[in-house]
Amino acid sequence: MKKVIAMVLSTAIALSLGACTGAGQSASVSSAASGAASAAGEGQTSTTAPAADAVVLKLAFNQSENHPQYKALAEMGEKLKEQTNGKYVIEIHPNELLGSQKDAFELVQNGSIQMAMVANSIVENVNKDFAVLGLPYIYDSQEHQKKVFTSGALDELFADTSAANNGFDVLTAFTAGARSVYTDKPIHTPEDLKGYKIRVMESPTCISMLNYMGGVGTPMSQGEVYTAIQQGTINGGENNEITYADLKHYEVAPYFSYTQHMMVPDLLIINTDIHNAMPDDVKEIFSKLVDETTEREFELWNEQIDAAKQTAIDGGATFVEDVDIKPFQEACKPLHDEVAATSENAKKLYDAVRALAE
């Protein structure tokens, strides 16, 4: 069914873009104010109708408008519009309106849409070296992660991905906080997870991680998690406080236990042809804004944590603070060795990430 939806979305959007540009690989060009009205109706970023000749970059996003990543991207979009004199406009489609992250990734690759925010695990399925960025307990702190994302340590990884000609470029990595387990009981040790099916992102690394932690890693699209827990298909999930509150998962899994096992990034991607087609002056503006937005998103994330926790608590959630993470860290050590050994580039990246913790 998902494949059918993705195909329908791809066809519909491609036809829409083709009518404007005559090429599926080109960005859409707004031609009517009705586009702005549609955007407002779908919860997209839209203030006034873009100029008739504006290049509109459709960006798929799987969270709500309240999410700090959405807010960071909206700010970036306003600055891009202003600094290009309205020639380039970012149009954000939140709440999986363009499909799941996997669907959106494929739409970017084939040029039906121009941009998307996707989980690191999605890109890991194309370039295995990205698994390093999603290893459990690889970052010592948020400051360590920020150094990795803003120091240029990932430039070679992103360049290699572009050079592989898979139809997309990775622009930057956004923090998505620290992920912890939530289910119907407090989790203090790996033994507490025995037999528990916990939803993880769709990647071999994430599945192995949860298995090492004592549970049963169960890959699943985020949009299916609430119902799956409710129906007993799985016993819980693992995510950050903001997503936990935003998607109201506390209603079906009221115990959020601070295992803090993963600080996996989300990745901002763009269709390669669209990126290459940007005039030099626009690309310079765009690149600078991407860098600024990477840092800004860290700020917005931290501002929203306390409010998210309070929302969940008001909804009946209990945050379990007294979790001894050392047994979880020890259990996951073999996964570090496995991933670092997959290639020379993976080992080089692993060492670079760990060196920035010092």
Give domain limits for the chain: 2-175+265-302, 179-264+305-350
| In the chain, % of residues over pLDDT 90 | 82
pLDDT given at position 202: 86
pLDDT given at position 68: 95
* Tens-digit pLDDT profile for residues 199-221: 998 888 999 999 999 999 999 98
pLDDT given at position 203: 85
Average pLDDT over residues 263-274: 97
pLDDT given at position 38: 38
* Tens-digit pLDDT profile for residues 55-65: 999 999 999 99
> What distance in Å separates the CA atoms of residue 128 and residue 117, rounded to the nearest whole number?
18
Can you identify the CATH homologous superfamily of domain 2-175+265-302?
Bacterial extracellular solute-binding protein, family 7 (3.40.190.170)
pTM of the model: 0.82
pLDDT given at position 290: 98
Average pLDDT over residues 163-187: 97
Average pLDDT over residues 100-129: 96
- Across the chain, the runs of DSSP E, i.e. the strands, are 28-29, 55-60, 88-93, 115-119, 168-174, 179-183, 197-200, 216-219, 237-239, 255-262, 266-271, 318-320
Beta partners for 255? 183, 318
pLDDT given at position 45: 47
Phi, psi (deg, nearest 5) at residue 178: -100, 130
pLDDT given at position 245: 95
Helix/strand/coil (H/E/C) assignment for every residue in 182-216: EECCCCCCHHHHCCCEEEECCCHHHHHHHHHCCCE
Average pLDDT over residues 47-61: 83
Q: DSSP alpha helices (H): ranges in 315-343?
A: 326-340
User: Is residue 289 predicted with pLDDT exceeding 50?
Assistant: yes
The dihedral of CA 63, 65, 69, 75: what is its sign?
A: positive
Structure tokens at 290: 């991407």
User: Is residue 43 predicted with pLDDT exceeding 80?
Assistant: no
Q: Do domains 2-175+265-302 and 179-264+305-350 have the same CATH topology?
A: yes
Provide the residue count of the chain.
358
Lowest-confidence segment of 4-8, 23-27, 254-258, 315-319 by average pLDDT: 23-27
Phi, psi (deg, nearest 5) at residue 249: -70, -15
Q: With cut-offs at 50, 70 and 90, classify the pLDDT of residue 49.
A: low
Give the fold, CATH level 3, of 179-264+305-350: D-Maltodextrin-Binding Protein; domain 2 (3.40.190)
pLDDT given at position 51: 74
Provide the mean pLDDT of the chain: 89
